[in-house]
Amino acid sequence: MSTIAVYPGTFDPITNGHTDLVERASKLFGKVIVAVAASPKKRPALSHELRISLAKEVLGHLPNVEVVGFDNLLTEFTRSVSGKVVIRGLRAVSDFEYEFQLANMNRAIAPDVESIFLTPSEKHSYISSTLVREIASLNGDFGQFVNPEVKRVLQEHYKTI
């Protein structure tokens, strides 16, 4: 039986740090579902459909990775896809407190689902979607942090604002 792992996030936009985590997770689990959260309360810059599409393009080289959108409770979504593991990324120690609290809450709601923490490689540890959006909005050079298609889409997005 191969374990299904769910890697949730807003992916606004998907970065090379996200890709690094998914590539490594794809070697550890039989199937990885990248779950793109609608997250309307976060007011994402890119539409839900566009974030899903970009993640599919960026991760298309990984045969055991599937990208889907969701708009419900993570534990409900994970159970609906028969997931047994939720993958969370930790870039810095400052991420740990929030992620630890979230993992414990998820465990209280769904004790059959485990949380696993992965860290990106050091060359991606400082990349965040927030910083990428900020650089893009100010017409800075952010190409080294994202896939070329993500760069193109963000440049186009911030041209029209």
Binding region for substrate: 10, 42, 74, 88
Catalytic residue among 18, 31, 51, 133: 18
Specify binding-site residues: 10-11, 18, 42, 74, 88-91, 99, 124-130
For residues 67 and 32, what is the distance between their CA atoms, to the nearest angstrom?
9
Active site residue 53: no
Specify binding-site residues for ATP: 10-11, 18, 89-91, 99, 124-130
Parallel/antiparallel/unpaired status of strands 114-118 and 65-70: unpaired
Catalytic residue among 42, 61, 123, 152: 42
Active site residue 129: yes
Active site residue 18: yes
Catalytic residue among 24, 91, 107, 157: 91
3-state secondary structure string across the chain: CCCEEEEEECCCCCCHHHHHHHHHHHHHCCEEEEEEECCHHHCCCCCHHHHHHHHHHHHCCCCCEEEEEECCCHHHHHHHCCCCEEEEECCCHHHHHHHHHHHHHHHHHCCCCEEEEECCCHHHCCCCHHHHHHHHHCCCCCHHHCCHHHHHHHHHHHHCC
Catalytic residue among 51, 129, 133, 151: 129
Active site residues: 18, 42, 91, 129
